C-alpha cells in the first residue's frame, strides 16, 4: 500500500481539488429558493404570489425566470401565465399574477442561465405559500403527466386564507 501511494501523483490531488472548486466558484449551478412575499419589505413584492431567490451562479441578474400557474378548477385543467419582477437585489424576484378563487395549483418555474436550465414544480399550500417539502426540480422540462400528477397531489387552495 505504501509503495502504491509513492507511485501515485499525490501532489496532483490539491490542484485537482482547487481546479474543481474554481468551476463552481466561477460559474456554478443555478438554483432557486421559494419563499413567502410577506417576508420582503420591497413594495414590488406586495401582492406577489411568491418570492424567488436565485443562488449558485456568479451573475444572478442574467438568469431568466419564467412562471406559469398550472391547476385544476372545477375539474378543468387551467394554465395561467404569471410575471416575474426583479426586486431591490438582483438575485430576488417576485412572482406576480392572480389565481382563481379555489382549486389545486402548482407553479411551474423555469430558470435559464448559460445553457444550465432548471425546471421546478412548486405546489401551493392551502394558504398560498409554497409546499417546500414537495417542490420538484429537474434539468429538463417536466412531462405533462408529471405536472398533472403533482397537481392532483396538491391540497385545495383557499384564497380567503391568503388575504
Residues 16-70 have pLDDT tens digits of 444 444 444 445 678 899 988 877 788 778 888 899 999 988 888 889 999 999 9
Instruction: Using alpha carbons, select from 126, 111, 123 the residue that is nearest to residue 161.
Output: 126
Where exactly are the structural domains of the chain?
A: 30-162
Q: Is the pLDDT of residue 146 over 70?
A: yes
What pTM was computed for the model? 0.76
Fold of the domain spanning 30-162: Immunoglobulin-like (2.60.40)
In three-state form (DSSP H/G/I as H, E/B as E, the rest C), the secondary structure along 25-71 is HHCEEEEEEEECHHHCCCHHHCCCCEEEEEEEECCHHHCEEEEEEEE
DSSP type of residue 101 = S
Question: How many angstroms separate the first and last alpha carbons of the chain?
Answer: 67
Q: 67 versus 158: which is more confidently predicted?
A: 67
| Tens-digit pLDDT profile for residues 87-127 | 988 899 999 998 876 788 999 999 998 888 999 999 988 88
Amino acid at each position: 500500500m505504501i509503495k502504491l501511494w509513492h507511485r501515485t501523483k499525490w501532489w496532483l490531488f490539491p490542484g485537482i481539488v482547487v481546479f474543481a472548486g474554481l468551476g463552481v466558484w466561477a460559474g456554478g449551478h443555478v438554483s432557486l429558493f421559494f419563499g413567502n412575499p410577506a417576508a420582503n419589505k420591497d413594495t414590488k413584492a406586495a401582492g406577489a404570489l411568491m418570492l424567488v431567490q436565485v443562488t449558485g451562479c456568479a451573475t444572478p441578474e442574467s438568469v431568466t425566470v419564467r412562471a406559469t400557474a398550472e391547476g385544476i378548477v372545477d375539474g378543468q385543467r387551467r394554465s395561467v401565465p404569471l410575471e416575474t419582477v426583479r426586486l431591490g437585489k438582483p438575485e430576488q424576484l417576485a412572482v406576480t399574477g392572480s389565481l382563481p378563487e379555489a382549486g389545486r395549483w402548482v407553479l411551474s418555474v423555469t430558470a435559464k442561465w448559460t445553457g444550465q436550465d432548471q425546471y421546478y414544480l412548486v405546489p401551493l399550500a392551502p394558504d398560498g405559500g409554497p409546499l417546500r417539502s414537495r417542490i420538484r426540480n429537474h434539468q429538463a422540462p417536466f412531462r405533462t403527466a408529471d405536472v398533472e400528477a403533482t397537481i392532483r397531489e396538491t391540497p385545495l387552495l383557499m384564497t380567503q386564507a391568503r388575504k
